[in-house]
C-alpha cells in the first residue's frame, strides 16, 4: 500500500451554470499533473446546491465527459457530486472518476429535507467503497456526515470523502463531525466545502480539511477563500496506528438497513 497524495479544491460556484463551473475548475487544475493522486471538489460542483432538477445531466453528459478528460489530464482521480438523472429518477450523485475513464458513483443516502431535497431527489440505497492506488475510499456527501452508523468502518476502508455545500451557520458542527468520523473509524477524512453565496442567499465559508486517524488536521483551507490545499496520507503510519491501537476489535455488531 502506497502513500496517497490528496488535493482539496475549495471554491465559490457559479449558480446553476455548469459550463462556467467546468471552466473555473479546469483552471484550478493547472499544475496538478504528477503532483496528486486524488482531487476532491465540493458537492454539486457544477451548479451549486439547487433543487432545479431541470439542470440534471446523464452519465454520458458533458460534466461526466469533462471529469474523464480532467482525470486523464492530471493523472489523478476526481471526486465531486452533480445532479444526474437516470430513468425517471434524479440523484445527487457522487462521481469518482479515474484517469482510465472509469466512473464509479455513490447516490447521496441522506437527503437534506430542510432544503426540500427529499422532494426533488431520490435517495441512494448503497454504501459505496472504491479502490484507488491501493487505498479503499468511502464516498459520502454533505448531510451524510451527521449519520455515523452509515459510515461505521467495518474494516473495509482507509479514507472517507465528504463533499459538501455546508452553510456558514452550521460550520462548527461541520468541523467537529469530520474530526469525530476520523477518530471513531481510525481513518483519514477529507471534507471539501464551497465558499461564497449561492443563488438562494446562503453563505458558505468552506472550512475544508484533511484529517488523520487521530483527529489531527493535516491540511486546511482558510475560511471564506478560494483555496487549493494538499496532504499526503501515510499508508505505513495508518497501518501501524491500527495495529498498535486496534479499537475495532471491540466494535458492536449491527446490521445496516437501507
**Radius of gyration, CA atoms only, the chain:** 17
What does the alpha-carbon distance between residue 65 and residue 69 come to, in Å, rounded to a whole number?
6
Catalytic residue (one of 16, 57, 68, 142): 142
Strands 89-97 and 77-86 turn out to be antiparallel
Catalytic residue (one of 16, 57, 104, 108): 108
What residues have CB less than 8 Å from 175, skipping those under 6 apart?
207, 209
What are the Cα distances from residue 179, in Å, to 25, 184, 222?
27, 9, 17
Is 33 designated active site?
no
C-alpha cell at 60: 454520458
Is 43 designated active site?
yes
What does the alpha-carbon distance between residue 205 and residue 221 come to, in Å, rounded to a whole number?
10
Is 108 designated active site?
yes
**Cα torsion at 64, 69, 73, 78 (round to 10°)?**
10
Q: How many CB atoms lie within 10 A of CB 245?
A: 11
Catalytic residue (one of 43, 57, 117, 168): 43
Which of the residues are catalytic? 43, 108, 142
Amino acid at each position: 500500500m502506497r502513500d496517497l497524495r490528496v488535493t482539496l479544491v475549495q471554491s465559490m460556484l457559479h449558480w446553476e451554470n455548469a459550463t462556467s463551473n467546468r471552466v473555473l475548475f479546469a483552471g484550478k487544475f493547472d499544475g496538478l499533473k504528477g503532483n496528486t493522486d486524488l482531487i476532491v471538489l465540493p458537492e454539486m460542483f457544477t451548479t451549486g446546491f439547487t433543487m432545479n432538477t431541470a439542470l440534471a445531466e446523464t452519465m454520458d453528459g458533458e460534466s461526466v465527459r469533462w471529469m474523464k478528460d480532467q482525470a486523464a489530464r492530471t493523472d489523478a482521480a476526481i471526486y465531486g457530486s452533480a445532479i444526474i438523472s437516470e430513468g425517471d429518477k434524479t440523484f445527487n450523485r457522487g462521481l469518482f472518476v479515474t484517469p482510465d475513464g472509469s466512473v464509479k458513483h455513490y447516490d447521496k443516502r441522506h437527503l437534506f429535507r430542510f432544503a426540500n431535497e427529499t422532494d426533488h431527489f431520490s435517495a441512494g440505497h448503497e454504501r459505496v467503497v472504491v479502490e484507488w492506488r491501493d487505498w479503499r475510499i468511502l464516498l459520502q456527501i454533505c448531510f451524510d456526515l451527521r449519520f455515523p452508523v452509515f459510515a461505521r468502518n467495518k474494516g473495509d476502508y482507509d479514507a472517507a470523502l465528504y463533499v459538501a455545500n455546508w452553510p456558514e451557520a452550521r460550520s462548527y458542527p461541520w468541523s467537529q463531525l469530520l474530526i469525530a468520523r476520523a477518530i471513531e473509524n481510525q481513518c483519514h477524512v477529507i471534507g471539501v466545502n464551497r465558499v461564497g453565496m449561492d443563488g438562494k442567499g446562503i453563505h458558505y465559508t468552506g472550512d475544508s480539511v484533511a484529517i488523520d486517524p487521530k483527529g489531527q488536521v493535516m491540511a486546511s483551507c482558510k475560511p471564506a477563500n478560494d483555496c487549493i490545499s494538499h496532504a499526503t496520507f501515510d499508508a505505513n503510519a495508518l497501518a501501524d496506528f491500527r495495529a498498535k491501537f486496534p479499537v475495532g476489535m471491540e466494535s458492536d455488531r449491527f446490521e445496516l438497513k437501507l
